[in-house]
Structure 1
């Protein structure tokens, strides 16, 4: 698989994650860890069915336990920290800090073998982050309280960027291993639910449909396509383009009548698009001399 195709597959994860907000709203009143347990179970089960049908499940025998521990810690750790941060701090501000992970991917990717960090990558990431800030928080506001929540949000951002960059170094590990990550994450989420939450199931058919859609898409297939993208694609471009997720998410909420269109949304679209273009041009400039 060439770099361009792998990057395009990685983009599909960003598109799927953009449906996370609206599907989460529709899945209410299911508490977050129960929702995580249900959806990761679905995503992991679908992955296992594909592995069995394709015969790829045999390749998982050679995957070391340390790799499964790494992948599961990344998926469960990020979601555990994300949900905790939004409980301890104002959601908008905490969400913005969590969404530092694409910027961290772009900046730290320059340390990976075969990657070069250029000024265009940094400028594009910062520009796109500015657009994401408008979408997620509408400005940071006062950060005088809930310091613990903000600290947890920062650790969440570091966790997902570390998982994504670490996956780049595990390119020999089959993407099918993500199915095991999902199932372990589902088990850990179930334990967290039993310890911390009261069980509340979906109260309508639409709610159950939203749970199923989450498990098949943004908390399922997306992790498989993201794995392909970060292992074989342009990780710096993927990191910058990830800022499209909060933009697309807001557009979906507007279309569903759950949010209002605004000048802020239009400005954020320009910033995010401009940042992605800058990063893409920087990536072409890096690769051009290599092909000369």
Structure 2
């Protein structure tokens, strides 16, 4: 596989993640942990079929349990927080706060040994956090106290995925086949915690089940596998830059389908969060 082709495959994940909020809204009122279990069962099944076809099960036996535990907790934590955030706050606004993770990855990477934060990192962070603050204070509509728990969970979601991504550098490279194990283990953990803490409410009708299936096949399934291929075999800097388009694309999708209303506040927050990530990324590339 050429580097260019691997990069193109990795970019498919960015396009799929832009649909994450849309399909999550479509699955309401299914609770977050049950939705986690449904989606990762589908995503894990995709991975197991692919692993069987490539004969990769032998590789999985040589992987440390620490890698499996780390990957499972990362996927479980991020999506449980994300699905919860979008149940408790407006989808577009909560999704934008959750998409602070590309910016936070750049910031946290600057704290690693041998790295340091540049002025561009701090300017980018200021832009991104101003965008988040604009969302929380409500722009011209005023502060919405009822949505605050969802916004907090969305920020914790961003912290979880950025921390997971940066700490994964210390784990070392693992074959793409391990993603299938992460998904299956996440589905099992989600099902168990669902039975302990939630009431069972299945997706409703064709839209609900169609959205859940689309999540499992795309943003919470195929996306992880193609992204893994892209970052390991393609141009990781180019992929990292294109990932900053995800919050912009996600917001545009929600506006186009009528889930979110276009407003100056939403547009400004989108530009601040996306632009802040790009500014921080440029500072890293120059460094």
Instruction: State the partner residue of 2:40.
Output: 40
Shift of residue 17, structure 1, vs aligned partner: 1.8
The more displaced of 117-126 and 12-21 is 117-126
Distance 1:107 1:69, change over 3 A: same
Instruction: State the partner residue of 1:261.
Output: 262
The more displaced of 65-74 and 25-34 is 25-34
Map of 1:24-173 to 2, 5 A cutoff? 24-83=24-83, 98-112=98-112, 117-131=117-131, 134=134, 138=138, 155-173=156-174
User: Distance in 2 between the 1:276 and 1:264 partners?
Assistant: 18
Instruction: State the partner residue of 1:195.
Output: 196
Question: Is 1:20–2:20 an aligned residue pair?
Answer: yes
8 A Cα contact 1:105 1:164, kept in partner:
yes
Instruction: State the partner residue of 1:271.
Output: 272
The more displaced of 225-234 and 200-209 is 225-234
User: Distance in 1 between the 2:80 and 2:134 partners?
Assistant: 25
Shift of residue 97, structure 1, vs aligned partner: 6.0
Extract unaligned runs of 5+ from structure 1. 287-292
The more displaced of 209-218 and 96-105 is 96-105
Extract unaligned runs of 5+ from structure 2. none
The more displaced of 182-191 and 222-231 is 222-231
Question: Is 1:183–2:184 an aligned residue pair?
Answer: yes
Instruction: State the partner residue of 1:217.
Output: 218
8 A Cα contact 1:9 1:226, kept in partner:
yes
8 A Cα contact 2:76 2:186, kept in partner:
yes
8 A Cα contact 1:106 1:122, kept in partner:
no
C-alpha RMSD over aligned residues: 3.9
Shift of residue 26, structure 1, vs aligned partner: 1.7
Shift of residue 201, structure 1, vs aligned partner: 2.1
8 A Cα contact 2:81 2:154, kept in partner:
yes
SS of 2:171's partner is: coil
User: Distance in 2 between the 1:63 and 1:258 partners?
Assistant: 43
TM-score (norm 1): 0.77
8 A Cα contact 1:129 1:272, kept in partner:
yes
Shift of residue 72, structure 1, vs aligned partner: 0.6
TM-score (norm 2): 0.78
8 A Cα contact 1:164 1:230, kept in partner:
no
SS of 2:110's partner is: helix
- Paired positions, count: 284
